[in-house]
Amino acid sequence: MQENRNNQHLPEGNRVTEGIEEKWEGTNEQWWNWYLSLADNGGVAPAPEPLGSPGFDASALKDIRVLTREELRAEMAEPYPLTEEQIQRFQAESYIRLTGFFSAGAILLLRQEALRVFYSHHEPDPDRRFSSMELMWLENEIIREIVTGRRLGQLAANLLRVPRVRMYHDDFLCKEPGGGRTPWHYDGHHYPIASRNIGTAWIPLQPTPGRMGMLELSKGMETHEIVREIPFDKFAQEHDRAIAEQLVARAVEIDQRPFELGEISFQHCLNVHGASANVTSAQRLAYGASYFEDGARVVDSPTLVSGDWQKFMPGVRSGEPIRSPYNPVVYDGGREG
């Protein structure tokens, strides 16, 4: 294992032991770069295809009118109609995909604001393969309206079958051209939250075909048990490789349909997913927003796989209920008349 310890994306302080029972020593941005380094890309980083290759053409968005603030406010206040059958399917399959969850104009507004916030903090860097930023909602009112709005909040509460949900965190996730795969995982392995009632909306900010870093979702709430049997390796790609093998061996169904503009997925924290490499010449932009049931606590011993989780709940310590100002209740079914 010695040569394995060379993962340059792992902060030095985390290279000393073999295990994960320690605090993450880097930032959350570094965490994502480390996490993607655990993906098996067959030994080669994919080279972006030349411009004009199948993928996504940003000019396809130019004719869409961005929503006004009032229009956005109205759309975010509107509950998405979910049927009991859809909730049951989510509970059995561990994810749901919803076409037309957002209007094209709302997605464009989120895209525009996320890019604005990201580049107000970062210089463009052609060497970067993954760009990420959390907690944009704290500094941008439009993003706040979307991720703390009723439309997503009620969706999360209804799918998780809980009366109230709080915000865990949001993340802007940009897989740059040439960015490799996202390794197979289930988010419950990351979340330092002592509950199974946690879910994440994944909101692509362009139409997203398979070769563009698209989310790939395995079907079945029980699939995470396969992942739990495989030892996690914080240095190398063995974990990802072994999960991929098992998914094939056990004939687990994987949803790899392209995402339309306005379509989102919502994953239960036990859903096993990964994402393809981005071999197009355009950035794959996505926005994630995670919610958990009100009343949940931090686990007693968070590991490095939770990254710098304290950023997402300032002042909350292990074992305590999560209700910092960064974790507002975004939907309260009990308040409905």
Ligand X SMILES: O=C(O)CCC(=O)C(=O)O
- Our CB check for Fe ion shows the closer of 145 and 187 to be 187
Closest approach of ligand X to the CB of residue 306, in Å? 13
Based on the shown chain and the rule CB under 6 A, indicate whether residue 240 belongs to the binding site for ligand X.
no
Q: In angstroms, rounded to a whole number, what is the distance separating the alpha carbons of residues 67 and 286?
A: 18
Which residues from 268-287 bind ligand X, rule CB under 6 A?
A: 273, 275, 286
Residue 318, CB-side half-sphere exposure with 13 Å CA sphere: 8
Distance spanning both ends of the chain, measured CA to CA = 59
Q: In angstroms, rounded to a whole number, what is the distance separating the alpha carbons of residues 62 and 76?
A: 23
Closest approach of ligand X to the CB of residue 288, in Å? 4
Q: In angstroms, rounded to a whole number, what is the distance separating the alpha carbons of residues 101 and 120?
A: 28
Segment near Fe ion (CB under 5 A); pick from 47-55, 172-180, 184-192, 232-240:
184-192
Based on the shown chain and the rule CB under 6 A, indicate whether residue 288 belongs to the binding site for ligand X.
yes
Which residues from 172-231 bind ligand X, rule CB under 6 A?
A: 173, 175, 182, 187, 200, 202, 213
String of contacts with ligand X for each residue 124-163, x by CB under 6 A: ----------------------------------------
Sole binder of Fe ion in the list 134, 187, 240, 293 (CB under 5 A): 187
Binding footprint of Fe ion, residue count (CB under 5 A)? 1
∠190-196-201 over CA atoms, to 5°? 65
Cβ atoms of 110 and 287 closer than 8 Å: yes
String of contacts with Fe ion for each residue 140-179, x by CB under 5 A: ----------------------------------------
Helix (DSSP H) and strand (DSSP E) numbers for the chain: 8, 11
Query: How is residue 12 annotated by DSSP?
Result: G
Cα distances (angstroms) measured from residue 130 to each of 35, 36, 74, 176: 11, 8, 33, 5
Based on the shown chain and the rule CB under 5 A, indicate whether residue 263 belongs to the binding site for Fe ion.
no
Structure tokens at 72: 């956005």
- Our CB check for ligand X shows the closer of 134 and 145 to be 134
Binding positions for Fe ion, rule: CB under 5 A = 187
Binding positions for ligand X, rule: CB under 6 A = 173, 175, 182, 187, 200, 202, 213, 273, 275, 286, 288
